[in-house]
Homo-oligomer: A and B are copies of this chain.
Amino acid sequence: MPDSTKEGRRVAQTGRALGPRALRTRQRLLDATEQLLVERGVLDLSVVDIARTADTSPATFYHYFKDVEEAALHLAEQAAREMPALIELIDGSWDGAAGLDTARRVVNAFVDHWSAHHAVLLIRNLSADKGDRRFQRVRRDSLSPVLDRLAARIAEAQTAGRVSAALHPFAAAAALASMLESISAHTRELEQREVGREQLVETCARVIHQVMTGEGRP
């Protein structure tokens, strides 16, 4: 496995450190990859197109990346670094009216993150589901802390007798996160029907709040 897949290292395929010009070129290639991912979707992505879009040649692409997947992996890592600070939000108060606000903030942060990186997160999830370990790692690193904190809060609520012990805390956390991921992914489509973003956020926030606290009856 080439060094350049290791997060944070900035090296060419040869293993050399990169100067400022090279870093700019590399970033231009990554930007082009993302642009094509957004414009044409996950299915039609080629080295030649990426190089063309970045105003450079395929040979240059191969200086920096082994293949298209590796460029996508780097984009996924960049997106992960911009993951919002969900942990702090989740560690906020879940009591009473403040709890609902906390839930809203969590949902908003999640949806924002997804609209900013829709195409990249999509190919990350696809490749991870397909079995690619590198993408699985990026997703896990990004999501695990959130799931663990959510699960911990649910477990606390169970101990306090507010939430049914029949919920599996981690499974519930995963279910809520899945809901947020795919809600974010389908936002546009839902807007074609009568549902606007505010209603979606509010409704998801209430679902999450209810699961996390057991509250929710009128």
Contact = CB atoms under 8 A, between A and B. Distances in A.
A178 B175 contact: no
Contacts of A218: 158, 161-165, 214
B178 A174 contact: no
Number of copies: 2
Interface stretch (A59-67, A76-84, A194-202): A194-202
Contacts of A171: 190, 195, 199-200, 202-204
Given A168-B195, A172-B207, A195-B168, A42 B200 contact: no
Do most interface residues of chain A lie in helix, strand or loop, or is the interface mixed? helix
Interface in A44-98: none
A152 interface: no
A179 interface: yes
A165 B122 CA distance: 33
A1 interface: no
Interface stretch (A7-15, A17-25, A124-132): A124-132
A206 interface: yes
